[in-house]
A and B are shown apart, each in its own frame.
Chain A
């Protein structure tokens, strides 16, 4: 079966750095997405990785290792508005998106 694993919930402090991990076992791999979803709102696109390595976009970075079936989302200089759920999704060999259950990130002052 296909599986995406990410922690259910994480807590971090304003101004700090947090890393949200995602591991996957899928039938093939054609890219990995990270989305942010604030409570009661639409998921919004954050990043897309298809090659190994780190993609940096402002305070957010996303890393991919295809050989390890592993990705992480790195958030720096955390702000209260970063409190949200972060969804990891993998594109399988049929170009279908397989979604993780999401990680709820709580930022404390």
Chain B
């Protein structure tokens, strides 16, 4: 248990469906992240929120829409996805945003992920 939970753990959806992924962190952290993990590829950073404000959006298609109502919760709304969007979606949190380097406060703690399959 890392203190970061994600639901659902598995999701199968059609290309016309709308679904949402949920992430919650119980660590009192200020920054939260969405990553996409595909087989044999590096983690792809999608979005970063710091104190509920979006600070990074790495050219993610608009069919992915993040929402951060407070520092503990993060959502990823999905609509009209493509089969190539099938992947493991990981949420992470850190005490502060910055990715690390200044001290261990930027160490990221990950949730177990949502395994998404788009048919």
The residues of A with any CB-CB pair to B shorter than 8 Å are 4, 8, 30-31, 33, 35, 40-45, 48, 50, 87, 89, 91-92, 95-102
Contacts and interface: CB of A to CB of B under 8 A. Distances in A.
Contacts of A45: 107-109
A69 to B, nearest CB: 16
A101 B102 contact: no
Given A30-B101, A95-B102, A97-B100, 9 more contacts: A40-B112, A40-B115, A42-B90, A44-B2, A45-B108, A50-B101, A89-B43, A91-B101, A100-B42
Interface residues of B, number: 24
B101 to A, nearest CB: 3
Interface string B42-80: 110100000000001000000000000000000000000
Shortest 10 CB-CB contacts between residues of A and residues of B: A30-B101, A42-B110, A91-B101, A95-B98, A99-B42, A97-B99, A31-B101, A99-B43, A91-B100, A95-B99
Contact of B42 (A8, A48, A101): A101
Contacts of B98: 95
8 contacts: A4-B42, A42-B4, A42-B110, A43-B90, A45-B109, A97-B108, A101-B40, A101-B41
A33 B94 CA distance: 14
